Structure 1
Amino acid sequence: MTTFQRFTPQPPAASVSELQARITALLPAIGAGAAQRERERQLPFKAIAQLAAAGVYTVRIPKSHGGPGGSVRDVIELLLRIASVDSNVAQALRPGLAFVEGLLVSTTEDAEAERQRWFARYLEGAVIGNAGWELGGANGAIAARLVREGDHYRVNGSKFYSTGALFADWVSAVALDEDEQPVSFILPRDREGLVLLDDFDAMGQRLTASGTTHLQNVRVEASDIRTRTVEEGKRTIVTPFLQLFLGTVQAGIARNALDDAIRFAREHARPIKHSSASRSVDDPYVELAVGDISARAYAAEALVLKAAEAIDRAWAAQRAHADVEQAAVEVAQAQYLVAELALKAAETLFDVGGASTTGRSHNLDRHWRNARTVANHNPRHWKAAVVGAWQLKGTEPPTSGLF
């Protein structure tokens, strides 16, 4: 495993276009090593650190706070570019970018002070990871416990799916207090008793650093406590953003599969014996396969960008309930189709060549494994059923954190 890295942060980007140029310049190198990293299970510490130093987490920070003041669509466009070269890197950014959305939506008494503090850290290149979910018990159940100890607290428990935590300067977590109420807090990665493990063993998205976090009698200061912005039972604009993030990763996978299909057809594939073509790129069925993948990637990208605009409209409407509900529905519709588009694109990639496409050195199967793993975060059939209930009866999407 490569070690934790940091680079000197670049000055804050004055515009979204400047930030896009910085990120785009990093992507060829990140993409060039993606297949090998995934095959050899080398976590992308350098890629995350480079993106953070370039300002990837700052896109939504308002100009009034020193950022470029980008929209949700701007975030999704950047994520599409990143996911199209390495979906693991893109998903690892999810906790940090969602944290920004939480800061933007917060209306608590100390919300502005919290924004000032954390936006400044982001502009200095900080990375934030997550340690919220746990294994065992009911879905979403919390066993970790936070207990007061004088002027501070102590927390004990274990978390899983700690996406991005190994790459992070700060780790966000949640535990139940002595009144059985969930409390969110954020800890520096070097806090005594905070143990981060590289033990995520999924078949896909293996390099998102989504393994175990142990909280072993960790001291939690009062200043580490945060206001919860995503809670079951409450509708918030942050939840559609979190869900769209996953759909965007899948759309990026489809684009990455297309790029690999083109490369393989040009550089490695040979026509089958009875083909009329002397080169694979002239074989009509190879052309058909690549065209099919291209159409799927195009459609997936269009869907997530359109859904991003729905979230932006909800922001423009001051997050009115009806607009947030509409955004949730549009994101669910996009997710339902994007999951299928990405999976089929990753499968069709193998129609571009023969048995050689399955060679481990090419690692082309990572696209299907990655797409399947992201799709399994939320059963897609629930998305369609919820949209159908909304269309037929006006039933609001659940406030379960998945819509």
Structure 2
Amino acid sequence: MTTLSDVGTTQDAPTTTSLLERFAPLLEHIASGAVHRESARTLAYDAVARLAQAGFTSVRIPREHGGPGASLAQTLRLLRELAIADPNLVQALRAHFTAVEVLLSGPDSERRGRWLKRIADGAILGNATTEKGNAPGTNSTHLLDRNGQLVLTGTKYYSTGSLYADWIQVHADTVDGRSVRATVRRDAPGVEVLDDWDGFGQRLTASGTARFDDVAVDPQDVIEAPRGGPGFTAAYVQAILLVALGGIAAAARRDTVDYVRGRTRAFAHGVGESASRDPLVQEVVGRISSSVFAIDAVLDAIGERIQQAAARQAAGGLDATETQELDASVSEAQVFVVEQTLDVTNRLFEVGGASAVSQGRGLDRHWRNARVLGQHNPVIYRAREIGQHQLTGDQRTTAIYVGAAGAQVPATTPGDPA
């Protein structure tokens, strides 16, 4: 049977079922260590390396470049499964999968082919985009020409995934005011990446500070930074966060069911002979499961819409209005998925007593991780933009960017925010 995620693939492309079966053992292994990594705050170097070695990080690469050629929607589906195992890894690899999609949607070139081969061979890309104190759409990190050698200098914050990466894509400005993206090796002289992210959730995303001290840059690895305009990339970047949330909700359901089934104690004032037979507990689990079903349905629909938009862009037919409609749909999905996932990860504690809050069980990690993911591109702004468009029709959702409050917003904004 053909699924939504199979639409748009070629006859030789893998099916969603075959991809899920291929990576299931690896994802099960990653899931088995998730609670320990969280409690010990052990960065997931081994898990990321295994994902690269198994071809998970190159699943989107076309066959002619050494990959299996999975579709965009299939990739989002696989990332949702990875999030069930460990949502930290989905966010840590967001820049990598976004970079792959940007390459695939760009013109055929020697640079494109070179990077697709590197990724097919297992290379992982991180990002260094966000800064403190800069105006929106600008960078205090600079790419300079020193005696004929391009060098990168500056400091970035929230460089998600870069500690796990082989290469880091760095947004910088030039002396003549251009914004560029320079890609450098993580282990290059002058590059320092710190694990100083102190959030109470998503602790293992390696979202720390990145410093660049006169780092030599190959001119071949410098391109103009994408600017605003028609395209599906911003929607795809947001969708990766949403599938991470969807994975958290599904994992919370799994752990709730396992917890209840394993309970041998019952409250004297309960209404069932066991926790599994208690109608009140059954209702809680039923509501959780219903929410997960709805979240999955929304994520399937969004994956299909983004894939269709990518196909239209490749054919030269994706215009500004269609881009705005896609972004609005993803924003509507964001409001729903964030709120429903937070409800699931909070509601699960109603099925038990004090044992449910044992640190050894790690059930709290689901809420903490969901709450931190929900802070990205805050829901209050997205909900307001959606409401304004519905009521007045005079504005749709806009590109996501951050910067110093009160700073001048440029006329064009990055098309693939971090």
Report the CA distance between 1:370 and its aligned residue. Answer: 0.5
Report the CA distance between 1:292 and its aligned residue. Answer: 1.3
User: Any stretches of 5+ residues in structure 2 without a counterpart?
Assistant: 1-11, 402-415
1:357 matches 2:356 = yes
Distance 1:114 1:227, change over 3 A: farther
Alignment of 1:180-259 (within 5 A): 180-229=177-226, 231=227, 233-259=228-254
SS at structure 2 position matched to 1:302: helix
1:100 matches 2:100 = yes
CA–CA distance in structure 2, aligned partners of residues 296 and 104 of structure 1: 34
CA–CA distance in structure 1, aligned partners of residues 77 and 301 of structure 2: 11
Aligned residues: 386
Q: Which residue of the partner structure matches residue 318 of structure 2?
A: 320
Q: Which residue of the partner structure matches residue 84 of structure 2?
A: 84
SS at structure 1 position matched to 2:205: coil
Report the CA distance between 1:269 and its aligned residue. Answer: 6.2
Q: Which residue of the partner structure matches residue 385 of structure 2?
A: 386
CA–CA distance in structure 2, aligned partners of residues 169 and 255 of structure 1: 31
Report the CA distance between 1:227 and its aligned residue. Answer: 3.7
SS at structure 2 position matched to 1:213: strand
Q: Which residue of the partner structure matches residue 273 of structure 1?
A: 268
Code of the aligned partner of 2:28: P
Report the CA distance between 1:345 and its aligned residue. Answer: 0.5
Identical aligned residues as a percent: 37
Report the CA distance between 1:70 and its aligned residue. Answer: 2.3
1:58 matches 2:53 = no
Alignment of 1:1-400 (within 5 A): 15-17=14-16, 18-107=18-107, 111-138=108-135, 141-229=138-226, 231=227, 233-268=228-263, 270-318=265-313, 319-321=317-319, 322-392=321-391, 393=393, 395-400=395-400
User: Any stretches of 5+ residues in structure 1 without a counterpart?
Assistant: 1-12
Query: TM-score, normalized by length of structure 2?
Result: 0.88
Code of the aligned partner of 1:245: I
Distance 1:284 1:52, change over 3 A: same
Distance 1:270 1:227, change over 3 A: farther
SS at structure 1 position matched to 2:348: helix
CA–CA distance in structure 2, aligned partners of residues 298 and 49 of structure 1: 31
CA deviations 1:106-151 (Å, max 9, x no partner) are: 24xxx52222111111111111111111123445542112111233
SS at structure 1 position matched to 2:203: coil
- Whether the 8 Å CA contact 1:234–1:399 is kept in 2: the answer is no
SS at structure 2 position matched to 1:217: strand
Report the CA distance between 1:58 and its aligned residue. Answer: 2.2
- Whether the 8 Å CA contact 1:19–1:55 is kept in 2: the answer is no
Code of the aligned partner of 1:48: V
Code of the aligned partner of 1:312: Q
Tell me which moved more, 202-211 or 377-386. Answer: 377-386
RMSD (CA atoms): 1.9
CA–CA distance in structure 1, aligned partners of residues 72 and 89 of structure 2: 19
CA deviations 1:140-176 (Å, max 9, x no partner) are: 5421121112332111111111111111111111111
Code of the aligned partner of 2:372: T
Code of the aligned partner of 1:133: T
CA–CA distance in structure 2, aligned partners of residues 59 and 270 of structure 1: 46
- Whether the 8 Å CA contact 1:162–1:211 is kept in 2: the answer is yes
- Whether the 8 Å CA contact 2:84–2:247 is kept in 1: the answer is yes
Query: TM-score, normalized by length of structure 1?
Result: 0.91
SS at structure 2 position matched to 1:317: helix
Report the CA distance between 1:62 and its aligned residue. Answer: 2.6
The structure whose RCO (Cα within 8 Å, separation 6+) is larger is 2
Distance 1:141 1:363, change over 3 A: farther
CA–CA distance in structure 1, aligned partners of residues 386 and 40 of structure 2: 40
SS at structure 1 position matched to 2:53: helix
CA–CA distance in structure 2, aligned partners of residues 198 and 16 of structure 1: 38
SS at structure 1 position matched to 2:217: strand
Code of the aligned partner of 1:37: R
CA deviations 1:353-378 (Å, max 9, x no partner) are: 11111111112111111001001011
SS at structure 2 position matched to 1:201: coil
CA deviations 1:80-129 (Å, max 9, x no partner) are: 1110121101211111100011112224xxx5222211111111111111
- Whether the 8 Å CA contact 2:138–2:173 is kept in 1: the answer is no
CA–CA distance in structure 2, aligned partners of residues 140 and 289 of structure 1: 45
- Whether the 8 Å CA contact 1:16–1:68 is kept in 2: the answer is no
Q: Which residue of the partner structure matches residue 5 of structure 2?
A: none
Report the CA distance between 1:25 and its aligned residue. Answer: 1.8
CA–CA distance in structure 2, aligned partners of residues 399 and 186 of structure 1: 23
SS at structure 1 position matched to 2:159: coil
CA–CA distance in structure 2, aligned partners of residues 34 and 284 of structure 1: 31
Tell me which moved more, 259-268 or 59-68. Answer: 59-68
Distance 1:371 1:75, change over 3 A: same
CA–CA distance in structure 1, aligned partners of residues 29 and 283 of structure 2: 30
SS at structure 2 position matched to 1:154: strand
